Amino acid sequence: MAVQTEIKTYLNYINGSWVSSVSNQVEPSLNPANRHDIVGYVQRSTLEDLNAAVAAAKQAQASWRKRSGVERGEYLYKAARLLEQRLDDIAETMTREMGKTLAEAKAETMRGVHILRYYAGEGARKVGDVIPSSDSEGLMFTTRVPLGVVGVISPWNFPVAIPIWKMAPALVYGNTVVLKPASETAVTAAKVIECFHEAGFPNGVVNMVCGSGSVIGQGIANHPDIDGVTFTGSNAVGKQVGRAAFERGAKYQLEMGGKNPVIVAKDADLDLAVEGTISGGLRSTGQKCTATSRVFIEKEVYEPFKAKLLERVKQLKIGNGLDADTWMGPCASESQLNTVLSYIEKGKAEGAKLLYGGKRCLDGELANGFYVEPTIFEEVDLQMTIAREEIFGPVLALIPVDSIEEAIRLANDTEYGLSASLYTKNIGNALQFIQDIEAGLIKVNAETAGVEFQAPFGGMKQSSSHSREQGQAAIEFFTSIKTVFVKASE
Ligand SMILES: NC(=O)C1=CN([C@@H]2O[C@H](COP(=O)(O)OP(=O)(O)OC[C@H]3O[C@@H](n4cnc5c(N)ncnc54)[C@H](O)[C@@H]3O)[C@@H](O)[C@H]2O)C=CC1
Ligand SMILES: O=C(O)CCC(=O)C(=O)O
């Protein structure tokens, strides 16, 4: 075990200053590749800290909203430049803190840079429409105003991209922000907020308070001075957040789980389908809300698809995400590892056939981390737990089907509706899939995971609050429309 000489403590960011929690308590953020490696200490905050952040955000809002969108955008451009300059350090921190490979962490950090630049540009774009009034002497138009103070509750699986895709539009449209990042990745979040600090945002416009979900997260949902809450995470918590916000009349936006299907048609390019299934299902150790979980394969190609998939999965190198040859890192935390292992046990107990993997990895150095083998089941009944609940781990269920119609019907037999893919060369299959699949993100001949910042993202059914994030869609959540009618007086 390496001896750590200096472990930094990361502070909350309130009203333009880095401050300790009034609790004087911190908690360690651990490296999931090696539980003995503490990435940093983060604040275990109280409601008093949250109140201070919300008060600062509320005060700052009055002047922030009065600035032009172009001016607000300039701050985002500065934050983007700083994030890009620090990309290597922030990506390495993300890998150490959350486990995804360094290549994925770098790509995600760069995605954060692009999101900041995209929303910086939004500051100069139109916010309303002129609508013909029935009164020929009247001028009728829409304009938009910010919500006020926005609370951002973010998860650990995209520690840079998700906070940024929520904060950047919030800020450019004139809101001020209080971020509560997941404790598991709060060091990475602090480094992102350092970029906002150095970009010179006025005091109180951006704030970060670290702490437990039940205190700070729930505190954001309940806070009377927080006008909008945007959340990504589990369904159970999301619904709790939504209920609390609804009760007090605040606006809320929830992005939650998925049980995302891939359908492989008998005419599919099987190599492409295998690559897409592996990448969509197992990259980031399956810890994406868009990850592939169920694979429906037309019977004619079931065996060749399965053989190719197994051959390819055997080649995947599991290890520390900082090692250049690692393809799949650990689960992000011990509790996530235990959740994944318990789903695998349920799968076996309920009668699914384990084709590959299924165990915790305990060889050599891996024993110090939270590693699990990529896992493939077949003979999966759609009523089994592993076919119904979000696992958030590298676990795939293979299900043979007689036709594309049957595949779509079974794929839709879930409470979720986030993303879905079809592999086919037949345009008729593709059109039917686009028409009938119940998902907010639909791909043909591409994997279920991976969203683009300039396009709307969100789910149907229980996967979201039916709102959309990112792209131009973000303006719908982060602003309110005012319809204005003006007429000259005699
Ligand atoms: N949709 C997605 O992208 C994500 C889905 N998940 C799902 O959630 C499962 C559990 O992961 P967790 O980290 O426990 O997710 P979670 O839903 O508990 O955490 C997400 C965020 O909510 C906060 N939070 C927790 N309890 C809260 C509460 N009572 N009120 C307000 N905020 C609260 C957390 O601190 C974190 O910042 C995963 O296995 C996965 O299925 C987790 C992370 C991301
Ligand atoms: O697939 C992606 O790029 C984003 C997934 C996502 O938003 C999530 O897992 O929370």
Catalytic residue, candidates 104, 122, 255, 447: 255
* Fold matches, 9-256+464-483 and 260-444: no
Residues flanking ligand 1, CB < 6 Å: 153-157, 180, 182, 213-214, 217-218, 221, 232-234, 237, 240-241, 255-257, 289, 336, 339, 390, 392
**Superfamily assignment of 9-256+464-483 in CATH?**
Aldehyde Dehydrogenase; Chain A, domain 1 (3.40.605.10)
Is the ipTM value over 0.90, yes or no?
Answer: yes
- Which ligand 1 atom is the nearest neighbour of the CA of 339? 39
| Closest C-alpha to ligand 1, atom 32 | 217
Ligand 2 site, residue 449, Cβ cutoff 6 A: yes
Mean pLDDT score of the chain, rounded to an integer? 97
> Nearest ligand to the C-alpha of residue 214?
1
| Span from the CA of 120 to the centroid of ligand 2 (angstroms) | 22
> Nearest ligand to the C-alpha of residue 392?
1
- Which ligand 2 atom is the nearest neighbour of the CA of 449? 1
Q: Which fold has domain 260-444?
A: Aldehyde Dehydrogenase; Chain A, domain 2 (3.40.309)
> Nearest ligand to the C-alpha of residue 335?
1
Within a 13 Å sphere around the CA of 442, how many CA atoms are in the beta-carbon half? 16
How many other β-carbons are positioned within 10 Å of the β-carbon of residue 193?
25
Query: How confident is the model over 196-254, as pLDDT tens digits?
Result: 999 999 999 999 999 999 999 999 999 999 999 999 999 999 999 999 999 999 999 99
| Span from the CA of 182 to the centroid of ligand 1 (angstroms) | 8
- Which ligand 2 atom is the nearest neighbour of the CA of 111? 3
Would you say residue 3 has pLDDT above 60? no
Query: How do strand 17-19 and strand 353-356 relate by DSSP bridges?
Result: unpaired
- Let me know how long the chain is: 490
- Which ligand 2 atom is the nearest neighbour of the CA of 448? 1
| Span from the CA of 473 to the centroid of ligand 2 (angstroms) | 16
> Nearest ligand to the C-alpha of residue 331?
1
pTM above 0.95? Answer: yes
pLDDT at 4: 59
When pLDDT is averaged across residues 363-371 and rounded to a whole number, the result is 97
Q: Provide the percentage of residues in the chain whose pLDDT is more than 70.
A: 99
Query: How confident is the model over 8-51, as pLDDT tens digits?
Result: 999 999 999 999 999 999 999 999 999 999 999 999 999 999 99
Ranges of each domain in the chain:
9-256+464-483, 260-444
Cβ–Cβ under 8 Å, residues 397 and 386: yes
Banded model confidence at residue 458, pLDDT cuts 50, 70, 90 = very high
Tokens (6 digits) for 226: 């927080």
| Span from the CA of 414 to the centroid of ligand 1 (angstroms) | 20
Query: How confident is the model over 257-292, as pLDDT tens digits?
Result: 999 999 999 999 999 999 999 999 999 999 999 999
Banded model confidence at residue 6, pLDDT cuts 50, 70, 90 = confident
Instruction: Please indicate whether residue 255 is annotated as part of the active site.
Output: yes
pLDDT at 1: 47
| Span from the CA of 84 to the centroid of ligand 1 (angstroms) | 28
Query: How confident is the model over 209-220, as pLDDT tens digits?
Result: 999 999 999 999
Would you say residue 490 has pLDDT above 90? no
| Span from the CA of 92 to the centroid of ligand 1 (angstroms) | 23
Ligand 2 site, residue 290, Cβ cutoff 6 A: yes
Would you say residue 445 has pLDDT above 70? yes
